[in-house]
Chain A
Amino acid sequence: MSSENPPKEQFVRFEGVRKSYDGTVQVVRDLNLSIREGEFLTLLGPSGSGKTTTLMMLAGFEKPTAGKILFDGQVINDMPTYKRNFGMVFQNYALFPHMTVAENVAFPLRMHRFPKSEQAERVTRALDMVQLHRIADRHPTQLSGGQQQRVALARALVFEPKMVLMDEPLGALDKQLREHMQLEIRALHEKLGLTMLYVTHDQSEALTMSDRVAIFNDGEIQHIDAPSEVYDRPRNAFVAKFMGENNAVEGTVTARDGDVITLRTAAGRDLHGTAVDDLAIGQGAQVLVRPEQISLGGLPADGFDSFEATVADKIYHGDHLRIVLEIAGLGQVTATFAHAEAELHPEIGQTLTIRWRIANALAFAPDGPAR
């Protein structure tokens, strides 16, 4: 990849792509998506939202029902997979059981007719890269899950593909190994400058690894942006609720001042929220507050909502403390506190003053009936 040229903004493009397996249910609807050269883009979304289908269409295993997929400006809808030159890592690794580790890694080099001497050299380098040169002669069934995953990674990278696609590559690993592999994959991405399209439904994985995250739901991209943007400034209630934890308070809009709305709950309590959706007075709405945005104590101040709350429960989590608070007229609200703050030692039944920034209390239209 030439480093002089600026990275291409539209390295991969989905234009109005639709996919239906059975002709009635749209698994992917009107997908428009550009992938930048060299970026790490993650598709994140609930099960069945069409992430794998999107990846399969890009890999060439499935054909779009409508729309175009372009690679480097060229329509590739009808190009067979083996010509596309994308490395792929599967959830179950898909290592060939009848070949040794070295033979597996050499497979793409054989297919792409690399000279024999270069093949050996590249296999060695690729196995070194994932620290597996010692087990080159073993068969995949003799490897642990993490080792198999690394072989799959080495195999997908060894022939310098134009792009790497991964479908939940870490899904079968335990938590510690998964976190370790996340770092390794991220480091490889940085080192090789590859374009990566990554599918997961683990949001912390998506947030820590990606340059950008595309949130899928119902065959559509709900929000695509940098991880912090998606998390802090979700574009709609689905994204807000899908990412992290939320306390949702429902009510009716009674006033509006610029972005800030006043919401009255059914019990008649007022609170404020920053409108993301277009909300009119008299309309139903919900305000979402993340547990980590709630702080203890502090006086009422401009830009804050503060409430008296009774401690209903508290749960020790090691690195943080979770407290369930009962707020009159609002219902139960969960808050998490770092230990420094928790030194206040709230006891169950105790009454506290809590507050949160109105800018962090996002207001959305109520959840519609599921489509």
Chain B
Amino acid sequence: MTRNSKAGLALIAPLLVLILAGFVLPIASTALKAFDNPEVSAALPRTTVALGQWDGAAPLPDAVPDAFVADLQDAMGNRAFGQMTRRLNFEESGMRSLFFKARRAAPGLERPYAQALAEVDPEWGRIETWQMLKTHSNPYTASYVLRSLDLRMEPDGTIVKVEPEQAIFVDLFIRTFAISIWVTVIAVLLGYPTAYVLSTLKGRMESLALLCVLVPFWISILVRSTAWFIILQREGPINAALQFAGLIGEPQAIIFTRPAVYIAMVHVLLPFFILPLLSVMKRIRADYVRAAASLGARPWQQFLLVYLPMTMPGVAAGALMVFMLSVGFYVTPALVGGLRDQMVSYYIAYFTNTTINLGMAAALSLLLLVMTGVLVAVAGKLMPGMGGKQGARS
């Protein structure tokens, strides 16, 4: 390493630290959390060891129920035990009561424990119950990620679809990306002409118009979403105006519908599209379009063959920004959308705050991140001007 590059490294060191602390570490810890599975081994340490020595095939060695009962006797009033039952109940309902029953009975049990447990509840006599316990005694699990894709692992290790009434996450991801794509498309269609008009204004008009774009930008997303909530509600001004104009008899349900989500999200995100595009448009001198005209291009050709391609980097940058932000949207759909309009972030918040299932929250976050990355990479390959070619040249 030369002296220069050392000095350069020293200069960017604070930045590296910042990136590491603010970006890499949270993502890495989220990724870990999505696979982390400490509950069973924490609550049942001896059982975990015994299960580790078992190959998983029938018959169940006596060491396992022995260790289990010993653990149960220690687990009286233990917090880890409660967390474990919640964890296992998430995998299979009924587990919570099964374990509590066993714990209540534990002090009075007599050897052989396998049989005694089966008498407490026949479930304990089934090899599958123990297999499942073995699966989850592993400190790492794929089950959060699998569940986020509406899949689960059978005790024997095969991966199957979850029951239809539990299969909500694939739909959730599809919905999230569909809403994001539509919001992006609408923002592009509305924002492009707006940015163009803005780019042609001069002097006071320009500052004024820019202010109109920026002022909403400066107001918090929460405030703007709440404003839409008020505007769109049944007794809100839109319904009142439509009724007054005689266009509708009864107030229409606008709030808590998909269109309400689109309206509010596009409004919140439009400046993120307009601003990068505007800066690109401002830098395109009139000469280029004039040159095209002088070379025989009709107005539509001037636009399609020269102006549009030259503004593509701005479109790509703005669209990417809108798309990335909409994928993670939470407040706006939560306020103006119905239950069927909620996006992944809603469930991440739900698992974080309501059910305190951090594994699920982390798995959903991780999948959202990965899918978004893949989608953006694919879009970059397919769309000209969205990176690659343009960037390599300048």
Q: A85 near B290 (CB under 8 angstroms)?
A: no
A71 at the interface (CB under 8 A from B): no
Distance to closest chain B CB from A371 (angstroms): 27
Residues of A close to B288: CB separation below 8 A:
94, 96
Interface string of A303-345 (1 = CB under 8 A from B): 0000000000000000000000000000000000000000000
The stretch of B46-54, B205-213, B291-299 in contact with A is: B291-299
A112 at the interface (CB under 8 A from B): yes
Residue of B with least CB distance to A141: B393
> With A111-B297, A112-B296, A159-B295 as given contacts, are A98 and B385 in contact (CB-CB < 8 Å)?
yes
B355 at the interface (CB under 8 A from A): no
Q: B293 near A108 (CB under 8 angstroms)?
A: no
Q: B296 near A159 (CB under 8 angstroms)?
A: yes
B394 at the interface (CB under 8 A from A): yes
B320 at the interface (CB under 8 A from A): no
Docked pose: A174 CA to B161 CA in angstroms: 71
B-side interface mostly: helix
B287 at the interface (CB under 8 A from A): yes
A59 at the interface (CB under 8 A from B): yes
B309 at the interface (CB under 8 A from A): yes
Residues of B close to A90: CB separation below 8 A:
287, 290-291
Residue of A with least CB distance to B294: A88
A155 at the interface (CB under 8 A from B): yes
Which residues of A (136-186) have their CB < 8 Å from a CB of B?
139, 141-142, 155-156, 159, 165
Distance to closest chain A CB from B283 (angstroms): 11
Partner of A94, one of B287, B297, B390: B287
> With A61-B290, A92-B287 as given contacts, are A111 and B296 in contact (CB-CB < 8 Å)?
yes
B97 at the interface (CB under 8 A from A): no
Residue of B with least CB distance to A139: B393
Residues of A close to B390: CB separation below 8 A:
98
Partner of A80, one of B293, B306, B312, B385: B293
Residues of A close to B287: CB separation below 8 A:
90, 92, 94
Residues of A close to B162: CB separation below 8 A:
none
Residues of A close to B290: CB separation below 8 A:
59, 61, 81, 88, 90, 94
Q: A81 near B310 (CB under 8 angstroms)?
A: no
Residues of B close to A156: CB separation below 8 A:
294-295
Distance to closest chain A CB from B43 (angstroms): 63
A107 at the interface (CB under 8 A from B): yes
Docked pose: A97 CA to B290 CA in angstroms: 15
Residue of A with least CB distance to B313: A98
Q: A111 near B310 (CB under 8 angstroms)?
A: no
Highest count of chain B CB atoms <10 Å: which of A61, A81, A86, A155: A81
B243 at the interface (CB under 8 A from A): no
Distance to closest chain B CB from A360 (angstroms): 43
Residues of B close to A92: CB separation below 8 A:
285, 287
Distance to closest chain B CB from A262 (angstroms): 54
Q: A98 near B294 (CB under 8 angstroms)?
A: no
A50 at the interface (CB under 8 A from B): no
Q: B294 near A87 (CB under 8 angstroms)?
A: yes
Residues of A close to B301: CB separation below 8 A:
111
Residues of B close to A87: CB separation below 8 A:
294-295
A60 at the interface (CB under 8 A from B): yes
Residue of A with least CB distance to B384: A98
Partner of A107, one of B295, B312, B385, B394: B295
Residues of A close to B294: CB separation below 8 A:
59, 81-82, 84, 86-88, 156, 165
Q: A82 near B293 (CB under 8 angstroms)?
A: yes
Interface string of B269-304 (1 = CB under 8 A from A): 000000000000000010110111111111101100
Distance to closest chain B CB from A167 (angstroms): 9
Residue of B with least CB distance to A108: B295
Docked pose: A92 CA to B291 CA in angstroms: 11
Docked pose: A88 CA to B292 CA in angstroms: 10
Docked pose: A59 CA to B293 CA in angstroms: 9
Distance to closest chain A CB from B348 (angstroms): 40
Distance to closest chain A CB from B311 (angstroms): 10
Docked pose: A112 CA to B296 CA in angstroms: 6
Residues of B close to A80: CB separation below 8 A:
293, 299
Docked pose: A156 CA to B288 CA in angstroms: 13
Docked pose: A141 CA to B389 CA in angstroms: 12
Docked pose: A156 CA to B293 CA in angstroms: 12
Q: A141 near B394 (CB under 8 angstroms)?
A: yes
Q: B291 near A94 (CB under 8 angstroms)?
A: yes
Residue of A with least CB distance to B394: A141
Distance to closest chain A CB from B46 (angstroms): 69
Interface string of A69-97 (1 = CB under 8 A from B): 00000000000111011111010101011
Highest count of chain A CB atoms <10 Å: which of B292, B299, B394: B292
Distance to closest chain A CB from B321 (angstroms): 22
Residue of A with least CB distance to B285: A92
Residues of A close to B296: CB separation below 8 A:
82, 85, 108, 111-112, 159
> With A81-B290, A92-B287, A139-B393 as given contacts, are A98 and B309 in contact (CB-CB < 8 Å)?
yes
Q: A94 near B285 (CB under 8 angstroms)?
A: yes
Q: A81 near B285 (CB under 8 angstroms)?
A: no
Residues of B close to A155: CB separation below 8 A:
295
Q: A142 near B393 (CB under 8 angstroms)?
A: yes
Residues of A close to B393: CB separation below 8 A:
97, 139, 141-142
Residues of A close to B291: CB separation below 8 A:
88, 90, 94, 96
Docked pose: A84 CA to B297 CA in angstroms: 11
Docked pose: A243 CA to B390 CA in angstroms: 46
Docked pose: A90 CA to B302 CA in angstroms: 17
Which residues of B (60-109) have their CB < 8 Å from a CB of A?
none
Docked pose: A142 CA to B299 CA in angstroms: 28
Residues of A close to B394: CB separation below 8 A:
141
Residues of B close to A139: CB separation below 8 A:
393
Q: B293 near A97 (CB under 8 angstroms)?
A: no
Distance to closest chain B CB from A242 (angstroms): 27
Distance to closest chain A CB from B282 (angstroms): 15
Docked pose: A139 CA to B391 CA in angstroms: 12
Q: B310 near A82 (CB under 8 angstroms)?
A: no
Q: B293 near A98 (CB under 8 angstroms)?
A: no
Interface string of A237-271 (1 = CB under 8 A from B): 00000000000000000000000000000000000
Highest count of chain B CB atoms <10 Å: which of A82, A108, A142: A82
Residues of B close to A96: CB separation below 8 A:
288, 291-292, 306, 309-310
Docked pose: A156 CA to B290 CA in angstroms: 12
Q: A97 near B297 (CB under 8 angstroms)?
A: no
Can you report 7 residue pairs joining A to B where beta carbons are below 8 Å apart? Answer: A96-B306, A97-B393, A98-B310, A98-B390, A107-B305, A111-B297, A139-B393
Interfacial residues, chain A to chain B (CB-CB below 8 A): 59-61, 80-82, 84-88, 90, 92, 94, 96-98, 107-108, 111-112, 139, 141-142, 155-156, 159, 165
Interface contacts beyond A90-B290, A97-B310, A159-B295: sample of 17 additional A-B pairs, CB < 8 Å, sorted by A: A81-B290, A81-B294, A82-B293, A82-B295, A82-B297, A87-B295, A88-B294, A90-B287, A92-B287, A96-B306, A96-B310, A98-B309, A98-B310, A98-B390, A107-B292, A107-B305, A108-B295
